[in-house]
Structure 1
């Protein structure tokens, strides 16, 4: 019985690792697909001449950047878009250029 327990635990740990790896792979695939669809929609909107209105909070972000308050601008961007920290930081840095 004592020799079976480590084997069972090892098998369970390996099963969990495989499940996590599979779900991570699926998430990356879905993210890639979403980016592709996003680009296609952007192209279709551009072709149709449809302008996507800018969120009013983006003006607030620009104002914060003009005041040198980058961290606050990132926070506002995250609140306005629901994006993660890295994505918001990248977007705010693009607006700074």
Structure 2
């Protein structure tokens, strides 16, 4: 009985590590595709506004970048690094 449990635990650990590896690869691929899509939109001069980001834009106009990053994270669920990069892009394109 103990051998069966041990084999089951080892199988679960191996399965989990394999899934985790696949998920990380998919996340990297998704990030590359998003960067490519952003480059295409920039090249074509198309701005994509996500719903709910009006407040972020308003905060940038008021030079409140940190608050803009916080609101961006709340609206999109992005992590801090992605939110900062997105807000930096938004700040660079505003006129």
Larger radius of gyration: 1
Q: Same fold (TM over 0.5)?
A: yes
Task: In structure 1, list runs of 5 or more residues that go unmatched.
Answer: none
Aligned residues: 84
**TM superposition score normalised by structure 1:** 0.65
Task: In structure 2, list runs of 5 or more residues that go unmatched.
Answer: 89-95
Provide the aligned C-alpha RMSD in A: 2.9
1:44 to 30, 40, 64: 40
**TM superposition score normalised by structure 2:** 0.67
| Structure 1 runs, 4 residues or longer, greater than 2 Å off | 59-63, 76-79, 89-95
1:77 to 59, 72, 75: 72
Matches within 5 A, 1:18-97: 18-53=14-49, 55-59=53-57, 62=60, 65=64, 74=70, 76-83=71-78, 87=79, 89-90=80-81, 91-92=83-84
